[in-house]
A and B are shown apart, each in its own frame.
Chain A
Amino acid sequence: MPLASLSADVSAPLSAGLSRADDAALATAASIGDARAPREIWRRYAPLVRRIVRRTLGPEHDVEDVVQDVFLRLFDKLPGLRDPNALRAFLVSISLRSVRYELRRRRVRRLVGLSPTPELHDLRVVATDHESRRALRRLYDLLDHMSFRERTAFVLRFIEGMELEEIAEALDVSVPTTRRAIARARDRVQLLASRDGLLTGYLSSSRGGA
């Protein structure tokens, strides 16, 4: 498509202000260095990225560095974005790559005997009662034993509630592969949780089972 068509496409929303621009216009503005674009992309997508990162990594982890890294990678890769309409999916995919890197980093640090997270932990209360907090921590311990694809498929499907096709796109695999990964992950979590005394106790208790 010639440049004329590109600019005609984006001119209306741009002149109306980036906050009203659609994703395609916003991505194009960012790729040509419009100084307003980083703030608008952050405003629009930081909550989504933060949620995915936190839900995939788990509690007690300061996610802000990862979130910033996601946006830095986005701006590195924006010139290569084939379809500017796919900004959201592109960001989700970058978020997962950053999370994967972070999980690897944590694993390596654990192997060499360092704290998995050298930064200050996010000490905000993630659940109001002690049992829930322990159960949540244990759930993420179980996820730590799964492959990255299964872990992500589980989080995106059962915690984030994303559609199968969207998860497949984010993981860059086919829909049948994603379906199998989700099924495997669900079975694995159910199996591991049923063998875990703390989780079965929590789920059987009135609070957990309520």
Chain B
Amino acid sequence: MGDSRLSRLTELARRMPHQESARRDAASFASFEVALLRRSQNRSRAHRWGAGVALTASLLLLLGIYSLPAPREASSEPALRYAVEPAAGDSERAQRFSFSDGSTVELADQSALHIAEVDAHGARVVLSEGSAEVSIAKRKHAAWQFEAGPYTVRVTGTAFQLRWSEKRAELMVAMHHGSVVVTGPLSPQGTALHAGQRLIAEDRTRRLRVEDAASARADALAPIEIHASRSRDAAALRGKTSRAAGAHDWDKRVAQGDFKGVLRAAEALGYARALTTLGASDLTAVADAARYLRKTQLGRDALLALRERFPESALGRHAAFFLGRMSDGDRALSWYERYLQEQPRGEYAAQALGRSMMLYYERGDTERAGALAARYLGRFPLGPYAASARTLLKPARVQSTTP
């Protein structure tokens, strides 16, 4: 056989499709990202466990006790087993997957699902079409992953309904109890969903909304990053300041996701008047609602008003951090610095330090980035920026060897 025939054969191989659709590529990336996240969390756990063991060992040695239990080998655990059986109910074609840890996945009629992976801690389940009722047994180290189109739902112990329509490119996750994290094209950073909430992601209109199942308010529409930070920020801000007389309880409405309602109320009052007359907690609510709805200017004005009118309050001081988050470059650095001066032990100190460190690194000011890295590690050795700080401080291996 000559070279020309060989090249005809290799041409066949070259014609194999090797590109994936954007949707499949996004799904694949989401799986990779989740695995990466899981791995780093496991490492962090192992790091903490290791530190704990070292400390314990030292104490035991001091006490003259030398026997330590061997760590549990995760890999030695047997994978979960599962059985498929007809689901209870009217439909003959509905199926129920029962796992040995007590978890169940009940697949509705005219739905398609397969179990892609199973290990000791859970499974990777792919719903390609239709609807499934999921109930995951609450266990230590449970780790389940459900994939629907380009979306990934990470689960520990919970129950929820998952629905995916390939045709409409629409995802719905309705929480019964527990919590999950959903990632995908419309929620690249991940959205946490809790009991009673429902997430609907429509790829075609590029809209994602999170509703309280009970009220299912239409005005709860909000980009995912917004929702993800909402409860945390609102919780952090709630109750930090005494409520002003005549307060509107807008912070409660923000905590419930009623951002539009809060801004409508502020507009009815007149923004200028609102900024000069509202109490600290309502002003914070306006700032939050504006930030969440990406009304940047209004958010910034509200935060500045908060700082001007309530400079000594916790909310006024927190505003410096959020002004930093809403700014770039020098302005952001200046706000973070101000926050750290005013609240060196504040609840956002780790974030402000870490973000400042990264900003200096990104602009090439390694001296200041290094100084902040050392300061960060001194205070937050297990903080979210600790790995970056350590890398910044050690002589970079990537540079030390010439090609």
B392–A32 contact, CB under 8 A? yes
**Interface size class of chain B, counting residues whose CB lies under 8 Å from the partner chain:** 35 or more
Cβ 8 A contact of B35, one of A5, A39, A68, A132: A68
B18–A64 contact, CB under 8 A? no
Query: What residues of chain A lie closer than 8 Å to B13, measured between beta carbons?
Result: 55, 58, 136, 139-140, 155, 159
Q: CB-defined interface of A72-114 with B at 8 Å, one 1/0 digit per residue?
A: 1001100111111110000000000000000000000000000
A6–B399 contact, CB under 8 A? yes
* Cα distance, A199 to B19, chains bound together (Å): 27
Q: Given A3-B366, A84-B398, A139-B12, check contact A119 B17 (CB 8 Å).
A: no
B206 CB within 8 Å of chain A = no
**Interface size class of chain A, counting residues whose CB lies under 8 Å from the partner chain:** 35 or more
* Cα distance, A7 to B372, chains bound together (Å): 15
* Cα distance, A141 to B211, chains bound together (Å): 53
B204 CB within 8 Å of chain A = no
Q: CB-defined interface of A22-63 with B at 8 Å, one 1/0 digit per residue?
A: 000001100111100011001000110011001100110000
> In the assembled complex, how far is the CB of residue A190 from the closest CB belonging to chain B, in whole angstroms?
5
Closest to A53 in B: B18
Chain B residues with a Cβ under 8 A of chain A: 1-2, 5-10, 12-20, 24-25, 28-29, 31-33, 35-36, 39, 114, 116, 188, 358, 361-367, 369-370, 387-388, 391-393, 395-403
Cβ 8 A contact of A7, one of B32, B114, B366, B403: B366
Query: What residues of chain B lie closer than 8 Å to A31, measured between beta carbons?
Result: 391, 396, 398
Q: Given A136-B13, A158-B6, A193-B9, check contact A4 B36 (CB 8 Å).
A: no
Q: Is the interface of B mostly helix, strand, loop or mixed?
A: helix
A46–B25 contact, CB under 8 A? yes
A124 CB within 8 Å of chain B = yes
* Cα distance, A1 to B400, chains bound together (Å): 5
Name 13 extra pairs, CB < 8 A, besides A135-B9, A190-B2: A32-B391, A42-B32, A55-B13, A68-B28, A68-B32, A71-B32, A72-B36, A75-B36, A75-B39, A120-B116, A127-B12, A135-B12, A191-B1
In the A-B complex, list the 9 residue pairs whose CB atoms are closest, starting with the nearest. A11-B364, A1-B399, A7-B366, A51-B18, A32-B391, A83-B403, A68-B32, A82-B401, A194-B1
Query: What residues of chain B lie closer than 8 Å to A84, measured between beta carbons?
Result: 398
Residues 115-131 (chain A) with a chain B CB within 8 angstroms: 119-120, 124, 126-127
A190–B391 contact, CB under 8 A? no
> In the assembled complex, how far is the CB of residue B280 from the closest CB belonging to chain A, in whole angstroms?
32
Query: What residues of chain B lie closer than 8 Å to A2, measured between beta carbons?
Result: 395, 399
Q: Given A3-B395, A7-B361, A31-B398, check contact A72 B32 (CB 8 Å).
A: yes
Closest to A139 in B: B9
A14 CB within 8 Å of chain B = yes
> In the assembled complex, how far is the CB of residue A140 from the closest CB belonging to chain B, in whole angstroms?
8
A159–B36 contact, CB under 8 A? no
CB<8 Å pairs between A and B, sample of 27? A6-B366, A7-B366, A28-B398, A31-B398, A33-B387, A46-B25, A55-B14, A59-B16, A64-B24, A67-B28, A68-B32, A71-B36, A75-B39, A81-B398, A82-B397, A82-B398, A83-B401, A85-B403, A86-B403, A120-B116, A126-B16, A127-B15, A186-B6, A189-B6, A191-B1, A203-B5, A203-B8
